[in-house]
Amino acid sequence: MTVKEAVLEKLETLPVAKQQEVLDFVEFLESKQPARKPRRSLKGSLAHLNFEWTEEDMRQARNEMWRGYTRDTEDHL
């Protein structure tokens, strides 16, 4: 049983007033957590560099990366 399932199971046995207390406590715990900043894409993170990355650049990088890997793999078989 997961923690979530166990909490829900016990929560269902409580009277409504106690369920409200549980909700209040959960909201209190949420308020203590620092707000998460949404993650930016890699493209967004590098935008200040004015760097253009084309599909051709990506293809060449993949070819270079996999060129050595496939050769190494064949040598070990």
Which helix (H) or strand (E) segment holds residue 59: the answer is helix 55-76
pTM over 0.75: no
Say how many residues make up the chain.
Answer: 77
In this structure, are residues 31 and 21 in contact, taking their beta carbons and an 8 Å threshold? Answer: no
Q: How confident is the model at residue 4 (pLDDT cuts 50, 70, 90)?
A: very high
Type of residue numbered 52: E
CA angle (29 as vertex; 24, 33 as ends), nearest 5: 145
73 pLDDT higher than 60: no
pLDDT, one tens digit per residue, over 17-68 is 999 999 999 999 999 988 777 777 877 777 788 877 788 988 998 888 888 7
> Which pLDDT score, from 0 to 100, does residue 74 have?
55
If we measure between CA atoms, which residue out of 4, 56, 45 comes closest to residue 26?
4
